Amino acid sequence: MNSIHHVNLPEGVRSGFLIKGDFLDAIPYGSGHINDTFLVRYIYKGRASQFIFQRINHHVFKNPAGLMDNIKRTCVHLQNKAIALGKDPVRYSLAVVPAREGNLNYFLDGADYWRAYPFIGQSFSVDVVENEEQAYQAARTFGKFTTLLDDLPGDRLEESIPDFHHTVKRYNRFEEVIEADSKGRLSSCESVVKAYLSERALANYVVEGLSNGLIKERVTHNDTKISNVLLDKKTGRGICVVDLDTIMPGSLLYDLSDLVRTSTGMFEENERDLSKISMNLSYFRAVMQGFLEQTVSIMSEAEIAFLPRVGQLLTFECGMRFLTDYLEGDVYFRIHDEDENLVRAKTQLKFLQIQQELEPELQQIVKEILKQIH
Ligand code: ADP
Ligand code: GN1
Ligand code: MG
Protein backbone atom coordinates (compact mmCIF):
# COMPACT_ATOMS: atom_id res chain seq x y z
CA MET A 1 0.00 0.00 0.00
CA ASN A 2 1.32 3.45 -0.89
CA SER A 3 1.17 6.31 1.57
CA ILE A 4 0.55 9.87 0.41
CA HIS A 5 2.77 11.37 3.12
CA HIS A 6 5.67 13.31 1.71
CA VAL A 7 9.06 12.47 3.19
CA ASN A 8 12.22 14.50 3.57
CA LEU A 9 14.95 12.87 1.52
CA PRO A 10 18.43 13.86 2.72
CA GLU A 11 19.72 16.88 0.77
CA GLY A 12 22.73 14.96 -0.53
CA VAL A 13 20.47 12.24 -1.93
CA ARG A 14 18.19 14.74 -3.69
CA SER A 15 21.13 16.18 -5.61
CA GLY A 16 23.24 13.03 -5.70
CA PHE A 17 22.16 11.68 -9.08
CA LEU A 18 22.53 12.90 -12.64
CA ILE A 19 18.98 14.17 -12.91
CA LYS A 20 18.05 17.44 -14.60
CA GLY A 21 15.87 19.90 -12.76
CA ASP A 22 14.82 20.71 -9.22
CA PHE A 23 13.68 18.26 -6.59
CA LEU A 24 9.91 18.52 -6.08
CA ASP A 25 8.78 15.83 -3.62
CA ALA A 26 9.07 12.20 -2.48
CA ILE A 27 6.57 9.69 -1.10
CA PRO A 28 7.07 6.15 0.26
CA TYR A 29 6.19 3.60 -2.40
CA GLY A 30 5.56 -0.13 -2.79
CA SER A 31 5.05 -2.92 -0.28
CA GLY A 32 8.52 -4.48 0.01
CA HIS A 33 9.82 -6.02 3.22
CA ILE A 34 13.52 -5.11 2.90
CA ASN A 35 14.53 -1.83 1.22
CA ASP A 36 13.02 1.65 1.59
CA THR A 37 11.43 2.73 -1.67
CA PHE A 38 10.29 6.23 -2.70
CA LEU A 39 8.59 7.76 -5.70
CA VAL A 40 10.47 11.01 -6.33
CA ARG A 41 9.59 13.93 -8.62
CA TYR A 42 11.79 16.59 -10.19
CA ILE A 43 10.75 19.64 -12.19
CA TYR A 44 12.64 20.61 -15.33
CA LYS A 45 11.49 23.44 -17.61
CA GLY A 46 8.04 23.28 -16.06
CA ARG A 47 7.61 19.52 -16.53
CA ALA A 48 7.70 16.88 -13.82
CA SER A 49 9.74 13.71 -14.20
CA GLN A 50 9.48 10.70 -11.88
CA PHE A 51 12.05 8.34 -10.40
CA ILE A 52 12.16 5.39 -8.03
CA PHE A 53 14.73 6.00 -5.28
CA GLN A 54 15.76 3.22 -2.94
CA ARG A 55 17.83 3.04 0.19
CA ILE A 56 19.42 -0.39 -0.02
CA ASN A 57 19.20 -2.39 3.20
CA HIS A 58 22.91 -2.98 3.75
CA HIS A 59 22.28 -5.27 6.74
CA VAL A 60 20.67 -7.69 4.29
CA PHE A 61 22.77 -6.88 1.21
CA LYS A 62 26.29 -6.75 2.59
CA ASN A 63 27.96 -5.67 -0.65
CA PRO A 64 25.73 -2.98 -2.19
CA ALA A 65 28.39 -1.90 -4.71
CA GLY A 66 28.70 -5.49 -6.04
CA LEU A 67 24.93 -5.79 -6.13
CA MET A 68 24.65 -2.57 -8.16
CA ASP A 69 27.26 -3.93 -10.52
CA ASN A 70 25.06 -7.02 -11.10
CA ILE A 71 22.08 -4.79 -11.76
CA LYS A 72 23.95 -2.48 -14.11
CA ARG A 73 25.28 -5.43 -16.13
CA THR A 74 21.89 -7.06 -16.50
CA CYS A 75 20.11 -3.80 -17.36
CA VAL A 76 22.67 -2.94 -20.06
CA HIS A 77 22.38 -6.45 -21.49
CA LEU A 78 18.57 -6.23 -21.61
CA GLN A 79 18.66 -2.79 -23.19
CA ASN A 80 21.08 -4.01 -25.87
CA LYS A 81 18.69 -6.89 -26.58
CA ALA A 82 15.82 -4.43 -26.88
CA ILE A 83 17.73 -2.34 -29.40
CA ALA A 84 18.67 -5.45 -31.40
CA LEU A 85 15.00 -6.51 -31.45
CA GLY A 86 13.80 -3.04 -32.46
CA LYS A 87 11.97 -2.55 -29.13
CA ASP A 88 11.87 0.51 -26.90
CA PRO A 89 14.75 0.01 -24.40
CA VAL A 90 13.11 2.39 -21.92
CA ARG A 91 10.20 0.00 -21.39
CA TYR A 92 12.17 -3.22 -21.82
CA SER A 93 14.31 -2.94 -18.74
CA LEU A 94 15.03 -0.75 -15.75
CA ALA A 95 17.95 1.65 -16.22
CA VAL A 96 20.31 2.74 -13.48
CA VAL A 97 20.65 6.52 -13.01
CA PRO A 98 24.33 7.28 -12.39
CA ALA A 99 25.48 9.27 -9.38
CA ARG A 100 26.57 12.84 -10.11
CA GLU A 101 30.09 12.08 -8.95
CA GLY A 102 32.56 9.23 -9.15
CA ASN A 103 31.00 7.42 -12.11
CA LEU A 104 29.10 5.22 -9.63
CA ASN A 105 25.79 3.35 -9.91
CA TYR A 106 24.82 4.43 -6.41
CA PHE A 107 25.06 7.44 -4.11
CA LEU A 108 26.62 6.99 -0.70
CA ASP A 109 25.01 9.06 2.08
CA GLY A 110 27.01 8.27 5.20
CA ALA A 111 26.61 4.49 5.58
CA ASP A 112 23.50 4.39 3.36
CA TYR A 113 23.62 3.30 -0.26
CA TRP A 114 21.00 4.91 -2.49
CA ARG A 115 20.10 4.17 -6.09
CA ALA A 116 17.72 5.69 -8.59
CA TYR A 117 15.80 4.34 -11.59
CA PRO A 118 13.66 6.33 -14.03
CA PHE A 119 10.00 5.62 -13.26
CA ILE A 120 8.40 3.63 -16.07
CA GLY A 121 5.16 5.47 -16.81
CA GLN A 122 1.74 4.00 -17.58
CA SER A 123 2.62 0.92 -15.54
CA PHE A 124 1.28 -0.82 -12.46
CA SER A 125 1.92 -3.88 -10.33
CA VAL A 126 -0.35 -5.92 -8.08
CA ASP A 127 0.12 -7.63 -4.71
CA VAL A 128 -2.62 -10.17 -5.43
CA VAL A 129 -3.45 -11.29 -8.97
CA GLU A 130 -6.85 -10.09 -10.17
CA ASN A 131 -7.35 -12.19 -13.30
CA GLU A 132 -5.80 -14.92 -15.48
CA GLU A 133 -4.36 -12.47 -17.96
CA GLN A 134 -2.28 -10.78 -15.22
CA ALA A 135 -0.95 -14.17 -14.10
CA TYR A 136 -0.07 -15.07 -17.69
CA GLN A 137 1.57 -11.72 -18.48
CA ALA A 138 3.60 -11.68 -15.26
CA ALA A 139 4.90 -15.21 -15.81
CA ARG A 140 5.65 -14.55 -19.46
CA THR A 141 7.65 -11.46 -18.51
CA PHE A 142 9.71 -13.33 -15.90
CA GLY A 143 10.20 -16.27 -18.28
CA LYS A 144 11.44 -13.96 -20.99
CA PHE A 145 13.77 -12.28 -18.52
CA THR A 146 15.38 -15.68 -17.81
CA THR A 147 15.96 -16.53 -21.45
CA LEU A 148 17.22 -13.04 -22.31
CA LEU A 149 19.84 -13.36 -19.59
CA ASP A 150 20.93 -16.84 -20.68
CA ASP A 151 23.81 -15.33 -22.66
CA LEU A 152 24.85 -12.57 -20.26
CA PRO A 153 28.54 -12.03 -20.99
CA GLY A 154 31.28 -11.68 -18.38
CA ASP A 155 32.14 -13.25 -15.06
CA ARG A 156 29.72 -15.12 -12.80
CA LEU A 157 27.51 -12.57 -11.04
CA GLU A 158 28.18 -11.66 -7.42
CA GLU A 159 25.97 -13.56 -4.95
CA SER A 160 24.21 -10.56 -3.43
CA ILE A 161 23.03 -12.84 -0.60
CA PRO A 162 25.13 -16.01 -0.43
CA ASP A 163 23.04 -19.23 -0.29
CA PHE A 164 19.86 -17.19 -0.66
CA HIS A 165 17.81 -20.18 -1.87
CA HIS A 166 19.92 -22.94 -0.35
CA THR A 167 16.83 -24.46 1.23
CA VAL A 168 18.85 -27.11 3.08
CA LYS A 169 20.98 -24.45 4.82
CA ARG A 170 17.80 -22.46 5.52
CA TYR A 171 16.37 -25.58 7.17
CA ASN A 172 19.50 -26.16 9.26
CA ARG A 173 19.40 -22.55 10.41
CA PHE A 174 15.71 -22.95 11.28
CA GLU A 175 16.60 -25.93 13.51
CA GLU A 176 19.31 -23.89 15.29
CA VAL A 177 16.91 -21.02 15.92
CA ILE A 178 14.29 -23.41 17.33
CA GLU A 179 16.93 -24.94 19.61
CA ALA A 180 18.04 -21.50 20.88
CA ASP A 181 14.50 -20.08 21.25
CA SER A 182 16.21 -16.80 22.15
CA LYS A 183 12.99 -14.76 22.43
CA GLY A 184 10.94 -17.41 24.21
CA ARG A 185 8.43 -17.49 21.36
CA LEU A 186 8.56 -21.21 20.58
CA SER A 187 5.70 -22.06 22.94
CA SER A 188 3.41 -19.73 20.96
CA CYS A 189 3.92 -21.58 17.68
CA GLU A 190 4.88 -25.18 18.42
CA SER A 191 2.41 -26.85 16.06
CA VAL A 192 3.42 -24.57 13.15
CA VAL A 193 7.10 -25.29 13.83
CA LYS A 194 6.44 -29.05 13.88
CA ALA A 195 4.55 -28.85 10.60
CA TYR A 196 7.46 -27.05 8.91
CA LEU A 197 10.00 -29.49 10.35
CA SER A 198 8.06 -32.38 8.82
CA GLU A 199 8.51 -30.95 5.30
CA ARG A 200 12.31 -31.42 5.32
CA ALA A 201 12.25 -33.57 2.15
CA LEU A 202 11.19 -30.59 0.04
CA ALA A 203 14.51 -28.85 0.68
CA ASN A 204 16.67 -31.28 -1.33
CA TYR A 205 15.55 -31.44 -4.93
CA VAL A 206 16.93 -28.23 -6.41
CA VAL A 207 19.96 -27.98 -4.12
CA GLU A 208 21.02 -31.50 -5.17
CA GLY A 209 20.15 -30.90 -8.82
CA LEU A 210 22.35 -27.81 -8.91
CA SER A 211 25.24 -29.64 -7.29
CA ASN A 212 25.07 -32.71 -9.56
CA GLY A 213 24.45 -30.64 -12.70
CA LEU A 214 21.01 -32.07 -13.54
CA ILE A 215 19.69 -28.57 -12.90
CA LYS A 216 21.61 -25.82 -14.64
CA GLU A 217 22.83 -22.79 -12.75
CA ARG A 218 21.63 -19.65 -14.57
CA VAL A 219 21.26 -15.95 -14.01
CA THR A 220 17.94 -15.73 -12.20
CA HIS A 221 15.89 -13.07 -10.46
CA ASN A 222 15.26 -14.95 -7.21
CA ASP A 223 12.52 -12.64 -5.90
CA THR A 224 9.80 -13.08 -8.50
CA LYS A 225 6.89 -12.11 -6.35
CA ILE A 226 4.00 -10.77 -8.32
CA SER A 227 4.53 -7.16 -7.20
CA ASN A 228 7.95 -7.24 -8.86
CA VAL A 229 6.70 -7.12 -12.43
CA LEU A 230 5.30 -4.07 -14.19
CA LEU A 231 2.20 -4.38 -16.37
CA ASP A 232 1.01 -1.86 -18.92
CA LYS A 233 -1.94 0.26 -17.72
CA LYS A 234 -3.44 0.47 -21.20
CA THR A 235 -2.87 -2.99 -22.65
CA GLY A 236 -2.32 -5.11 -19.54
CA ARG A 237 0.76 -6.63 -21.18
CA GLY A 238 3.89 -7.36 -19.16
CA ILE A 239 6.47 -4.57 -19.48
CA CYS A 240 9.53 -5.59 -17.46
CA VAL A 241 10.64 -6.95 -14.12
CA VAL A 242 11.80 -4.78 -11.20
CA ASP A 243 13.32 -5.24 -7.73
CA LEU A 244 16.60 -6.52 -9.10
CA ASP A 245 18.70 -6.83 -5.92
CA THR A 246 18.68 -10.61 -5.92
CA ILE A 247 19.69 -11.16 -9.54
CA MET A 248 22.46 -13.70 -9.17
CA PRO A 249 23.31 -17.31 -10.01
CA GLY A 250 20.33 -19.57 -9.26
CA SER A 251 17.82 -21.98 -10.75
CA LEU A 252 14.91 -20.99 -12.97
CA LEU A 253 12.82 -23.26 -10.74
CA TYR A 254 13.23 -20.70 -7.94
CA ASP A 255 11.75 -18.02 -10.16
CA LEU A 256 8.85 -20.15 -11.32
CA SER A 257 8.32 -21.33 -7.75
CA ASP A 258 7.96 -17.86 -6.26
CA LEU A 259 5.64 -16.90 -9.09
CA VAL A 260 3.37 -19.83 -8.28
CA ARG A 261 3.59 -18.94 -4.59
CA THR A 262 2.57 -15.33 -5.11
CA SER A 263 0.23 -15.44 -8.09
CA THR A 264 -1.89 -18.55 -7.80
CA GLY A 265 -3.10 -17.94 -4.25
CA MET A 266 -5.87 -15.43 -3.73
CA PHE A 267 -4.58 -13.93 -0.49
CA GLU A 268 -2.16 -11.44 1.04
CA GLU A 269 0.90 -12.82 2.81
CA ASN A 270 -0.39 -11.49 6.14
CA GLU A 271 -3.97 -12.77 5.84
CA ARG A 272 -5.23 -13.80 9.30
CA ASP A 273 -8.30 -15.70 8.15
CA LEU A 274 -6.86 -19.01 6.99
CA SER A 275 -10.18 -20.02 5.46
CA LYS A 276 -9.41 -17.43 2.77
CA ILE A 277 -6.28 -19.28 1.64
CA SER A 278 -6.94 -21.10 -1.61
CA MET A 279 -5.28 -21.91 -4.90
CA ASN A 280 -6.74 -20.81 -8.21
CA LEU A 281 -6.11 -23.56 -10.77
CA SER A 282 -6.84 -21.26 -13.72
CA TYR A 283 -4.14 -18.89 -12.47
CA PHE A 284 -1.79 -21.85 -12.08
CA ARG A 285 -2.46 -22.82 -15.68
CA ALA A 286 -1.87 -19.22 -16.82
CA VAL A 287 1.42 -18.95 -14.88
CA MET A 288 2.72 -22.24 -16.25
CA GLN A 289 1.66 -21.34 -19.77
CA GLY A 290 3.32 -17.90 -19.62
CA PHE A 291 6.57 -19.09 -18.09
CA LEU A 292 6.97 -22.34 -20.02
CA GLU A 293 6.23 -20.81 -23.42
CA GLN A 294 9.35 -18.74 -22.86
CA THR A 295 11.61 -21.24 -21.12
CA VAL A 296 10.73 -24.85 -21.95
CA SER A 297 13.25 -24.96 -24.79
CA ILE A 298 16.12 -24.38 -22.35
CA MET A 299 14.84 -26.63 -19.56
CA SER A 300 16.33 -30.00 -18.60
CA GLU A 301 14.37 -33.20 -17.84
CA ALA A 302 15.07 -32.75 -14.12
CA GLU A 303 13.61 -29.25 -14.23
CA ILE A 304 10.53 -30.40 -16.13
CA ALA A 305 9.96 -33.32 -13.75
CA PHE A 306 9.67 -30.90 -10.81
CA LEU A 307 7.02 -28.65 -12.36
CA PRO A 308 3.91 -30.02 -10.60
CA ARG A 309 5.61 -29.50 -7.21
CA VAL A 310 7.50 -26.34 -8.10
CA GLY A 311 5.33 -23.92 -6.10
CA GLN A 312 5.79 -25.95 -2.94
CA LEU A 313 9.51 -25.21 -2.75
CA LEU A 314 9.42 -21.44 -2.21
CA THR A 315 6.16 -21.62 -0.27
CA PHE A 316 7.98 -23.89 2.17
CA GLU A 317 11.23 -21.92 2.13
CA CYS A 318 9.64 -18.51 2.46
CA GLY A 319 7.26 -19.67 5.20
CA MET A 320 10.18 -21.21 7.08
CA ARG A 321 12.09 -17.93 6.75
CA PHE A 322 9.14 -15.97 8.18
CA LEU A 323 8.96 -18.42 11.09
CA THR A 324 12.72 -18.27 11.65
CA ASP A 325 12.47 -14.48 11.80
CA TYR A 326 9.54 -14.64 14.22
CA LEU A 327 11.53 -16.92 16.54
CA GLU A 328 14.57 -14.65 16.30
CA GLY A 329 12.59 -11.53 17.20
CA ASP A 330 11.80 -10.01 13.76
CA VAL A 331 15.29 -8.98 12.77
CA TYR A 332 14.92 -9.41 8.99
CA PHE A 333 11.50 -8.78 7.42
CA ARG A 334 9.71 -5.48 7.97
CA ILE A 335 6.63 -6.03 10.15
CA HIS A 336 3.60 -3.92 10.99
CA ASP A 337 2.19 -6.10 13.82
CA GLU A 338 4.07 -7.99 16.50
CA ASP A 339 2.99 -11.42 15.24
CA GLU A 340 3.06 -10.64 11.52
CA ASN A 341 5.88 -13.04 10.71
CA LEU A 342 4.00 -15.84 12.46
CA VAL A 343 0.84 -14.94 10.54
CA ARG A 344 2.84 -15.02 7.31
CA ALA A 345 4.30 -18.41 8.22
CA LYS A 346 0.79 -19.76 8.81
CA THR A 347 -0.53 -18.55 5.43
CA GLN A 348 2.41 -20.17 3.66
CA LEU A 349 1.93 -23.44 5.56
CA LYS A 350 -1.75 -23.60 4.65
CA PHE A 351 -0.92 -22.79 1.02
CA LEU A 352 1.78 -25.46 0.98
CA GLN A 353 -0.72 -28.06 2.23
CA ILE A 354 -3.26 -26.98 -0.39
CA GLN A 355 -0.70 -27.41 -3.16
CA GLN A 356 0.15 -30.88 -1.83
CA GLU A 357 -3.51 -31.90 -1.86
CA LEU A 358 -3.90 -30.57 -5.39
CA GLU A 359 -0.79 -32.27 -6.76
CA PRO A 360 -2.67 -34.66 -9.11
CA GLU A 361 -4.60 -31.73 -10.64
CA LEU A 362 -1.42 -29.65 -11.00
CA GLN A 363 0.32 -32.61 -12.63
CA GLN A 364 -2.51 -32.89 -15.17
CA ILE A 365 -2.35 -29.16 -16.01
CA VAL A 366 1.41 -29.29 -16.51
CA LYS A 367 1.01 -32.36 -18.74
CA GLU A 368 -1.57 -30.61 -20.92
CA ILE A 369 0.55 -27.48 -21.30
CA LEU A 370 3.70 -29.42 -22.14
CA LYS A 371 1.80 -31.45 -24.75
CA GLN A 372 0.60 -28.24 -26.33
CA ILE A 373 3.90 -26.29 -26.42
CA HIS A 374 6.73 -28.83 -26.28
P1 ADP B 1 10.41 -2.99 -2.81
O2 ADP B 1 11.71 -3.51 -2.28
O3 ADP B 1 9.83 -1.91 -2.00
O4 ADP B 1 9.48 -4.13 -3.14
P5 ADP B 1 10.48 -2.49 -5.67
O6 ADP B 1 11.71 -2.25 -6.45
O7 ADP B 1 9.75 -3.75 -5.89
O8 ADP B 1 10.83 -2.26 -4.14
O9 ADP B 1 9.50 -1.27 -5.95
C10 ADP B 1 8.24 -1.16 -5.31
C11 ADP B 1 7.13 -1.00 -6.36
O12 ADP B 1 7.39 0.15 -7.14
C13 ADP B 1 7.05 -2.16 -7.37
O14 ADP B 1 6.19 -3.17 -6.91
C15 ADP B 1 6.51 -1.46 -8.60
O16 ADP B 1 5.11 -1.38 -8.55
C17 ADP B 1 7.05 -0.05 -8.50
N18 ADP B 1 8.27 0.21 -9.29
C19 ADP B 1 9.54 -0.13 -8.97
N20 ADP B 1 10.41 0.33 -9.87
C21 ADP B 1 9.69 1.00 -10.80
C22 ADP B 1 10.01 1.75 -11.97
N23 ADP B 1 11.26 1.92 -12.36
N24 ADP B 1 9.00 2.29 -12.68
C25 ADP B 1 7.70 2.15 -12.27
N26 ADP B 1 7.34 1.50 -11.17
C27 ADP B 1 8.31 0.92 -10.43
C1 GN1 C 1 11.36 -10.08 0.51
O2 GN1 C 1 12.03 -7.21 -0.73
P3 GN1 C 1 10.82 -7.97 -1.05
O4 GN1 C 1 9.67 -7.62 -0.21
O5 GN1 C 1 10.52 -7.96 -2.55
C6 GN1 C 1 12.47 -11.13 0.42
C7 GN1 C 1 12.02 -12.27 -0.47
C8 GN1 C 1 10.74 -12.89 0.08
C9 GN1 C 1 9.69 -11.79 0.18
C10 GN1 C 1 8.44 -12.31 0.82
C11 GN1 C 1 16.00 -9.98 -0.16
O12 GN1 C 1 11.16 -9.54 -0.76
O13 GN1 C 1 13.02 -13.27 -0.50
O14 GN1 C 1 10.28 -13.90 -0.77
O15 GN1 C 1 10.17 -10.69 0.98
N16 GN1 C 1 13.67 -10.50 -0.12
C17 GN1 C 1 14.85 -10.68 0.45
O18 GN1 C 1 7.42 -11.42 0.64
O19 GN1 C 1 15.02 -11.40 1.44
MG1 MG D 1 9.26 -5.39 -4.69
- 95 Cα–ligand 3 center, Å: 16
Mean pLDDT computed over 315-338:
98
Contact by Cβ (8 Å): 208, 120: no
CB atoms within 10 A of CB 217: 14
184 dihedral zone (left: phi>0; alpha: psi -120 to 50; beta): left
Ligand 1 pocket test target in 52, 58, 114, 128 with most atoms within 8 Å of CB: 52
Least Cα distance to 313 among 274, 255, 263, 358 occurs for 255
Domains in the chain and their CATH numbers? Answer: 11-120 (3.30.200.20), 132-373 (3.90.1200.10)
What pLDDT score was predicted for residue 2?
A: 47
DSSP 31: -
- Residues 204-212 have a mean pLDDT of 98
- Cα 33 to ligand 3 centroid, rounded to whole Å: 8
Ligand 2 nearest-atom number relative to CA 34: 2
pLDDT for 261: 98
Q: Residues 128, 247: contact at Cβ < 8 Å? A: no
Please check the confidence at residue 269 and state whether its pLDDT lies above 80: yes
pLDDT in tens, 280-321: 999 999 999 999 999 999 999 999 999 999 999 999 999 999
> Nearest residue CA, atom 19 of ligand 1?
242
User: Which residues lie across from 124 on neighbouring strands?
Assistant: 231
Digit-coded pLDDT (tens) for 171-193: 999 999 999 999 999 999 999 99
Q: Ligand 1 test: best mutation among 125, 128, 222, most atoms within 8 Å of CB? A: 125
pLDDT tens-digit map of 70-119: 999 999 999 999 999 999 999 999 999 999 999 899 999 999 999 999 99
Q: β-strands 36-44, 22-28: how paired?
A: antiparallel
Give the whole-angstrom CA distance, residue 340 versus residue 272: 9
pLDDT at 1 over 60: no
Name the DSSP class of 22. Answer: E
Nearest alpha carbon to residue 183 among 327, 73, 25, 371: 327
Identify the band that residue 67 occupies on the pLDDT scale cut at 50, 70 and 90: very high
- Neighbour count for residue 229 (Cβ, 10 Å): 27
* Pocket probe mutation, ligand 1, options 242, 246, 262, max atoms within 8 Å of Cβ: 242
CA atoms of 265 and 47, how far apart (whole Å): 41
Distant-in-sequence contacts of 131-134, Cβ < 8 A, 24+ apart: 132/282, 132/283, 132/285, 132/286, 133/236, 133/286, 134/226, 134/231, 134/236, 134/263
Q: What are the beta bridge partners of residue 54? A: 37, 115
pTM for the predicted model, two decimal places: 0.96
Cross-strand pairs, 55? 36, 114
Mean pLDDT for all residues in the chain: 97
Contact 195, 356 (CB under 8 A): no
Pick the atom of ligand 1 nearest to 39's CA: 12
Cβ(257)–Cβ(352) below 8 Å:
no
Cβ(164) to ligand 1 under 6 A? no
Task: Report the percent of the chain where pLDDT is more than 70.
Answer: 99
- Rounded to whole angstroms, the Cα distance separating 124 from 213 reads 38
